[in-house]
Amino acid sequence: MRVCLFKNAVARSSFFNDIKLTTSLSWKNLARIIQTNRSMLDNYRNGKLCISENRFLILLNLLTFEQQQLFLQEILYKSKNWGQRLGGLITSKKYPNNINRIRHLASTSKKNYVKYEFNITMSLSEKLCEFVGAVIGDGFTNQYGGAYEMQITGDRILDKDYYFTRLKPICENLFHITPKITENKNGLRLTIYSKRLFQMLTQRFKIPAGVKAYTVAIPSEILLAGNNYLYATLRGMFDTDGGVGFDKREIYSKPYIRINYTSSSKQLIKQVSNILDQNNVPHSVHSKTSAQMIQINGRNNTSQFMSKIGFSNKRHLDKIDHGITINHSKSFFIK
């Protein structure tokens, strides 16, 4: 996988500004299109990081043909590890006596490396389905040369409890892997490097590698497995990519609750809508600029959702509890 470098800062700034003007999308939504977060996109825009060729081409396709031809002339391509290789050459010239010692340590570490092993055909379970749902909702998987990566991204503060108390134990119990959870200014990222997990997600569950926003769908295996597995999958999806809100306009005597789920994949929205219909969870479907949104409106309909699907993410549960407190009423949710 190569990375793209703009020839100068002017070209880089023009590229991102033209995308913003052409699409009228927010920086947050543009980041979602290339399967990353706002802070990472800002690093690309400011030139702090080189953008991968795959992500560059996705953004390039949002522009007109004339714009594409213009910016393709403003790009240089480098191998993904070009910076590491350059640093290695500089270091070897500065400290030639240390090179053999470093190579010996690296060789020893490689011998002691243990691959993560688990059965990718393991029996379907609710926890596995919930994990798959989380990947469908806000996950990303790809192969970079010989490296296989899976990430789920979220809010640094609001999703922290969910990542450490829910997703992390699921990964440890199912895959015998302790995921790496990292924070930056705005985001939280759970990362696993595992070829077997990559194979499970892409081959068994048919989740597209790379950009999946427009094509991802609930796997056929889960669709045919029964309601408990469907509920767990939707729970993972709504935990990561869903939302809870209260409409406090004066037309409502009490704050009016709404649960929503938004996706650019029309097939996914249709699947979710069908599942909710089949399980008597009233909802509506709305079209947005580049996506569709499912809304579950009102206390009774939300109660139906919570009794069958619900949330594992404390972020959403706390918001619901807060809304109930505002209403000065007892909980109307069955979990």
Q: Judge whether 117 lies within some domain.
A: no
Q: Are residues 232 and 94 in the same domain?
A: no
Q: Judge whether 335 lies within some domain.
A: no
Q: Are residues 195 and 149 in the same domain?
A: yes
Q: Are residues 220 and 262 in the same domain?
A: yes
pLDDT tens for the chain, 335 residues: list them. 688 889 899 999 999 999 888 888 889 888 888 888 988 999 999 998 889 888 888 888 788 878 888 888 898 877 755 455 444 544 455 555 555 555 555 555 444 444 567 889 999 999 999 999 999 999 989 887 778 899 999 999 999 999 999 999 999 999 999 999 998 877 899 999 999 999 999 999 999 998 888 899 999 999 999 899 999 999 999 999 999 999 888 888 888 899 999 999 999 999 999 999 999 999 999 988 788 999 999 999 999 999 999 999 999 999 888 765 444 443 333 32
Q: Are residues 104 and 154 in the same domain?
A: no
Q: Are residues 73 and 214 in the same domain?
A: no
In this structure, how many other beta carbons lie within 10 angstroms of the beta carbon of residue 76? Answer: 11
- Supply the CATH number for residue 286's domain: 3.10.28.10
Q: Judge whether 333 lies within some domain.
A: no
- C-alpha pair distances (Å), 59 with each of 27, 34, 62, 65: 12, 8, 5, 12
Q: Are residues 162 and 281 in the same domain?
A: yes
Q: Are residues 105 and 165 in the same domain?
A: no
CB 333 within 8 A of CB 303: yes
Q: Are residues 10 and 67 in the same domain?
A: yes
Q: Please identify which residue in the block is written with the tokens 């990375």.
A: 3
- Supply the CATH number for residue 63's domain: 1.10.260.40
Structure tokens at 168: 């992390």
0.85 surpassed by pTM: no
Number of domains within the chain? 3
Q: Judge whether 12 lies within some domain.
A: yes
d(CA 238, CA 244): 10
Q: Are residues 200 and 214 in the same domain?
A: yes
Q: Are residues 168 and 263 in the same domain?
A: yes
Q: Are residues 149 and 224 in the same domain?
A: yes
- Residue 92's domain spans which residues? 82-111
